Amino acid sequence: MTTKLFGEPVRRREDARLISGQGRYLDDLGRHALAAAFVRSPHAHARITGIDVDAALEVDGLVAIYTWEDLPEGVREPLPLLIPHPALTHGRTAYPLAREVVRHVGEPIVMVVARDRYLAEDICSLIEVSYEFLKPVIGLEEAVSGAHLVHEDVPGNVGAHMVQEVPSADGRSALDAISAAPHTLSFRLDIERSASMPLEGKGVYARWDADDQSLRIYSSTQTSTSVRMALAAKLGLPLPKVEVIAPDVGGGFGVKIVHPWPEEVLVPWAARVLGQEVKWTEDRREHFIGSAHERAQVQHVQVGFDGAGRVLGLSVEILHDHGAYTHYGIIVPIITSTQLLGPYRIGAYRVEFSSIYTNTVQVTPYRGAGRPQAAFCMERTMDKIAQHLGLDRTEVRAANFIQPDQFPYDQGMIFQDGRPLIYDSGDYPESLRKLKDLIGWDDFPALRESARADGRRLGIGLGCYVEGTGVGPYEGGHIQITSDGRVHVSTGLTSQGQGHETVFAQIAATELGVPIERVSVVTGDTRRFGYAVGTFASRAAVMSGNAIALACRKVREKALRVAADALEADPRDLEITDGVVHVVGAPAASIPLATVAVLSNPLRYAFDEEAKRATQFATTGSMDRPPVSEGEEPGLEGKDYYSPTRSTFASGMHAAIVETDPDTAEIRILRYAVVHDCGKMINPMLVEGQIHGGVAQGVGGALYEKMVYDDHGQLLNASFMDFLMPYATEVPHIETDHLETPSPLNPLGIKGAGEAGVIPVSAVIAAAIEDAEGFPIDRMPISPSDLHALRRTGR
């Protein structure tokens, strides 16, 4: 293969349209569609006592108003609980429009359809909903007291409770190991809420074709195939009559994997009922109060360790704030529980979590999905052990690392995919060595001293993580080479900016030996590929990348078979270069893939010059065989699936140097270093981009972003003016280095990279601030005011 593109920093094929205003995002479609808007609850917890639409009915341009009462069977039922789990004994999901009770500010109550969005919002403002107020349950401690309930039938507000225990090699429980340990510590950690906050909100646009009795839905989703199946079921339509397409999507970061959203059910239903196109585009306030948040946890930690800092026993009790509903199940606390162990061999481990309902927006995965909390817990623990023993923080980590010769390493738990938590490969000591070099760990004391001489306060911190990526169950790839020599690649999962069109084209071009310019890639379009799971958990490159590679190998094999017939050669003597099949060492004996595509499809009709070659009187095939041999199919195409036995585990380590202002408590990140290992890289430029973006979101979560709820359950900062996402001026220069430890689990040897950048950032920044200030930083994010307050309380 001369067309080697795997591993190269190939420029993105998506960019030509996106930099010229030719992208097609959800709200760019359906210019003449009717617009939907929603009346949402202004109260966190209330019983609806009446809905008065009289004034609204007068507005010219009104098309329809719907409340829960108006919804038919199927549509009116609660949204599905997407990931059931035995520990989720009290799973609760919302109705698409509130039925009797609202449980968070922002819950939709009435849908309005009107000629345009301005009118739809006017009409919403004329609809009067009356309420009987119920006591809102806000804050984890308030919720666990159980004094007031979010759901009347969920005692103590506990949706799920789960304990996992991994005894030590000699059979001791974590609690026994801790009490027998030479040293013990116990402490509490807090992490607040943030959110995915893609620049494009959610949106859905539906077209009902009455003549064809079919429905086409465009949705800004991370899973078009699953939206399709959910909607066919809810609307009672035959699956082949429903198509779902994810167009260009303006960022996802987790929130768009949840489905079907209320609007995703209601808009298509209304389009069908009204016989007209209907579109809803989420505005920013709706996104804050009507989608999902993540991160909030309280963790109580006990740890026992020896004099070298080796952890003999670790027990963590987690209170996880789930918001009002558990639409996405308990994946986030499960990931926290299982990924907490990071790159370490822990003597014995016990983790217990309670998933708690509060009258706030539901909690579902946001990039990292429970791992930032896990890394915060484990890395703060490592730092506290080092502090207690007076050891260097990197030494304590090194003392606990799983060693390169210990893979595959079984952590003895069940991971989020329901499969054993077995790490496939990694080299943690080498990562740490690279990180120490990159940040200059050993030279830092001198730097600190010279800064101190200038009256400046510096600190350094580090954090490690292991990330299970590429979770199953499967993804597929379809390849078609057409008679013009073009290669059409499709896969069912969706894209939100990762560059899939580029990396999947790199894989196809490399596998098939064709110029990348001839390859086009379609993702997230159920017309092209109906079976898929979705884009989340850093899985797209691993899952669809391998599926596409496998499909390409099938097509290549077929191309060589057909070409071998035509060239009267042995397929084993053939190779493909620049889209031409030729005999190795005899370049003159060759046939272009375009011609192979023609020959692979025996024809009766010659619709063009090329096609003539495959017609029945032109071919020279054997008269003893049918034109399409047994086991073959017409056409140069192929499909395959990749379904892994279990996840593949990427890893990384970050370090930062921060400066804290002695007077103003301003926190500035002076340097930020990342060492990252995601196995073999398909496109290092894109991997770097993923890391950059993740770190920036991590910096946001560490220093700026939190969802501020008051006691009444009002989200006080539901706008970009008050929810502070980092601008260019807040994100430090990010220095990166890579390690490539291939995964033995998949044909391409790759691991996921999407979420990695965000995972350890809060832990790293907390450690660096703690190092600068000399007192524990156990609650993140931290603002200058928070730091100032900590200084005053003398901690």
Which residues are near another protein by CB under 8 A? 11-12, 14-16, 18-25, 27-28, 31, 116, 118, 197-200, 248-251, 253, 283-284, 496-499, 685-686, 688-689, 691-697, 719-721, 725-729, 731, 733-734, 757
Q: Return the number of the residue (476 or 701) whose C-beta is nearest another protein.
A: 701
Cβ proximity to another protein: between 14 and 107 the closer is 14
Residue 11 beta carbon to another protein: minimum distance, rounded to whole angstroms: 6
String of DSSP letters for 36-87: EEEEE-SSSSEEEEEEE-TTGGGSTTEEEEE-GGGPPTTTSSPPP-SS--TT
Tokens 């995972």 belong to residue: 759
Number of C-beta neighbours around residue 114 at 10 A: 24
Closest CB 690 distance from another protein, rounded Å: 8
CB of 689 to another protein, least distance (A): 5
> What is the phi/psi pair of residue 306, to 5°?
-95, -175
If the CB atoms of residues 136 and 203 are measured against another protein, the closer one turns out to be 203
Count of residues in the chain: 795
- Shortest separation between residue 245's beta carbon and another protein, angstroms: 16
Per-residue DSSP letter, 781: S
User: Which tokens go with 402?
Assistant: 């799983």
Rounded distance between C-alpha atoms, residue 29 and residue 20, angstroms: 17
The Cα 495–Cα 231 span in angstroms is 21
- Report yes or no: 35 and 279 within 8 Å, Cβ to Cβ: yes
Toward another protein, which CB reaches closer, 265 or 537?
A: 537
CB of 759 to another protein, least distance (A): 14
Q: How far is the CB of 505 from another protein (least distance, A)?
A: 16
Alpha-carbon span 537 to 339, nearest angstrom? 13
- Joined together, the tokens standing for residue 83 give 């990931």
Q: How far is CA 201 from CA 197, 504, 782, in A?
A: 8, 26, 27
Closest approach, Cβ 204 to another protein, in A, equals 17
CB 700, min distance to another protein, A: 9
Nearer to another protein, 673 or 686 (CB): 686
125 secondary structure, DSSP code: H
* 333-346 per-residue burial string, b: 16 or more CB within 10 A, e: under 16: bbbbbbbbbbbbbb
CB of residue 430 vs another protein: minimum separation in angstroms? 25
How far apart are CB 734 and another protein at their closest, in Å?
Answer: 6
Please spell the DSSP secondary structure of 508-541, one letter per residue: HHHHHT--GGGEEEEESBTTT------S-TT-HH
Toward another protein, which CB reaches closer, 530 or 757? 757
**446 vs 716, beta carbon nearer another protein:** 716
Q: Name which of 452 and 733 has its Cβ closer to another protein.
A: 733
Provide long-range contacts, Cβ within 8 A and 24+ apart, for 618-625. 621/565
Neighbour tally for 328: CB within 10 Å: 23
Burial annotation 31-69 (CB, 10 A radius, 16+ → b, else e):
eebbbbbbbbbebbbbebeebebeebeeeeebbbbbbbe
Question: In this structure, are residues 243 and 213 in contact, taking their beta carbons and an 8 Å threshold?
Answer: no
Q: What is the 3-state secondary structure (H, E, C) of 461-500?
A: EEEEEEEEECCCCCEEEEEEECCCCCEEEEECCCCCCCCH
Nearer to another protein, 14 or 755 (CB): 14
Q: Using an 8 Å Cβ cutoff, are 495 and 686 in contact?
A: no
Q: Write down the least CB distance from residue 198 to another protein, Å.
A: 6
Q: Burial, 683: exposed, middle or buried (Cβ in 10 Å; 0-12, 13-18, 19+)?
A: buried
Q: How far is the CB of 753 from another protein (least distance, A)?
A: 13
What does the alpha-carbon distance between residue 139 and residue 159 come to, in Å, rounded to a whole number? 15
Name which of 120 and 596 has its Cβ closer to another protein.
120
In angstroms, what is the minimal distance from the CB of 284 to another protein?
A: 4
Alpha-carbon span 379 to 368, nearest angstrom: 16
Using the minimum distance from each CB to another protein, give the nearer residue, 31 or 604: 31
